[in-house]
Amino acid sequence: MSDWRPYPRRADSTVTGELWQLDGLGDAQHAPRPVLVWLPPSYHAESGRRYPVVYFHDGQNVFDAATSYSGEWGADETLTALAAQGTEAIAVGIPNGGDRRFHEYSPVENTDYPQGGGGGADAYVTFLTGTVKPAVDAAFRTRPGADDTVVIGSSMGGVISLHAWLTRPDVFGHAGMMSPALWTNAGFSLRQAQEAHLPAGRVWVDIGGQESPEFPDRMRAYWHEAHAFVDTLSARGLGERLRFQADPAAPHHESAWAARLPAALRFLLTRL
């Protein structure tokens, strides 16, 4: 852990785990960025224990409102509460690439999307599997196998979570898709759900009914495509390995994802 440093904690924090930061993690196609790792409360007391790992996209928004551009997930608070109930995991927050976010998270190009670009998802998954995960596994007592590794994100982070699960199930055994922006890729994710080999892991999907009220067509697309996606996975036999939550009143915001996160992590981290 020589290159990792403690992340400064707020004085009023109720979190009992530890947060660590590694600066400048990148590769040939991804600008260096700080990666944050949260360790559960029992990590130091139980020195022989290893832990499952949850990888979060948009890491700026996962642990600290001070680094967020839109709000905080409160993942460390949620994981602290889950630890008290007997569910413990290491959590990793990988920041997005700023104006490269859409490109990194999208499996296909979409020049009509306001940010443009796309098509960098395969390279980003390689960054996760070849650079980020090895750095985490080398520094911390992880359970590195796929069945103990979860990838989760919201909006475009949900899209890349699905892509990582379907293309590298040997690394990411389970996936969480919160308010997935399936409408951005012209049906690509829906075709993946219909045609790709489905791994054996668990999938969490959720959606709100007020994802983009300022854009009614987009808001309807969020809702309907999430339901179509879940219907496809259900028809393909995921059964109890699939969990879906739809909230007609929920917005497209970190506050909504924070509210749904405890149930999502409890499901994704509990072996069936």
pTM recorded for the entire structure: 0.95
Alpha-carbon span 54 to 148, nearest angstrom:
8
- Tens digit of pLDDT for each residue in 130-185? 999 999 999 999 999 999 999 999 999 999 999 999 999 999 999 999 999 999 99
Q: What are phi and psi of 173, to 5 degrees?
A: -80, -20
Mean pLDDT to the nearest integer, 26-33: 94
Q: What is the pLDDT at residue 190?
A: 95
**CB-based contact 42:49 (threshold 8 Å):** yes
Alpha-carbon span 191 to 16, nearest angstrom:
42
Q: What is the pLDDT at residue 113?
A: 66
Q: 9 vs 15, 21, 76, 94, CA distance in Å?
A: 9, 12, 11, 18
Q: How many CB atoms lie within 10 A of CB 82?
A: 18
Mean pLDDT to the nearest integer, 52-73: 90
Residue 119: left (phi > 0), alpha (psi -120 to 50), or beta?
Answer: left
> Which is higher by pLDDT, 50 or 9?
50
> Which ranges of the chain would DSSP assign to H, the alpha helix?
75-84, 101-105, 121-127, 133-139, 156-167, 188-195, 216-235, 254-269
Q: What is the pLDDT at residue 65?
A: 79
Q: What is the pLDDT at residue 271?
A: 81
Q: What is the pLDDT at residue 15?
A: 67
Alpha-carbon span 39 to 20, nearest angstrom:
8
For the chain, percent of residues with pLDDT exceeding 70: 95
Q: pLDDT at residue 57 above 90? A: yes
For residues 220, 187, 191 and 240, what is the CA-based torsion angle, rounded to 10 degrees?
A: -20
Mean residue pLDDT of the chain comes to 93
